[in-house]
Copies of this chain bind each other. A is one copy, B any other.
Amino acid sequence: MVDEQKTTEEIIFEAALSVFQRKGLAGARMQEIADEAGINKSMLHYYFRSKELLFKQVFIKSFKNFSASTIPIMNLELSWEEKIPLLVTHYLKAMQTRPDLPMFVINEMRYNPEDFLSNVSGNKIKDTVFFAQLWDGINKGTIRPIKPIQIVVSIISETVFPVIAKPMIQHMTKLQDTNWEEFIADREKVIPEMLIKYLKEF
């Protein structure tokens, strides 16, 4: 593989990604981004003009990254029962590598609503094979007749929420760090079991 040299712009963008995802728009400091990139603060403005523009690009990239990652899985050539555990595992693994990403996206989206994303096509979860499979089963009477969107939201909720709310849950339940891994491992089994059972037996 070629040892491609990262351009200054790329270095800045990655540093911005890291700092914005960790601290949010209001909490992030241009100086901190410059420090993390190892360059002068003027460079940020030279390449991205303003904090707002830089944030906008970081935010759009983050949103796409989070929301688009599941589509390929939903379009695999597998049954819907096989896809549910895959999706659960995918989200739990994604949480492990980038725990700040979903929190960042959700959080900033309360303030920068459609504005920043007006040009970002809402990627069509509804047009995936997974969705079609669920509708098909419902029409054939083999799946409980509830809207498929409920299932998708449940999968995301059950996997993403516990990780972003980890400190709160730990404080509320006194769950130690050592037991946390076990707790997550359990969830990886429990969530698909529960969802599939609910959809198939009614």
Which residues of A approach B to under 8 Å, CB–CB?
23-27, 63, 67, 103, 105-107, 109-110, 113-114, 117, 122-126, 146-147, 149-150, 152-154, 156-158, 160-162, 164-165, 167-169, 171-175, 183, 186-187, 190-191, 193-195, 197-198, 201
A194 to chain B, nearest CB (A): 4
B198→A168 contact, CB < 8 A: no
Given A67-B172, A103-B106, A157-B162, 15 other A-B contacts at CB below 8 A?
A24-B26, A106-B164, A106-B165, A106-B167, A107-B107, A122-B174, A125-B173, A149-B173, A150-B183, A150-B190, A153-B162, A154-B191, A156-B161, A157-B157, A157-B158
Looking at chain A's contact residues, the main secondary structure is: helix
Most chain B Cβ neighbours within 10 Å, of A110, A114, A161, A194: A161
Task: With A157-B162, A201-B197 as known contacts, state yes or no: A147 contacts B186, CB within 8 Å.
Answer: yes
Residues of chain B within 8 A (CB-CB) of A109 are 167-168, 171
Residue of B nearest to A66 (CB): B168
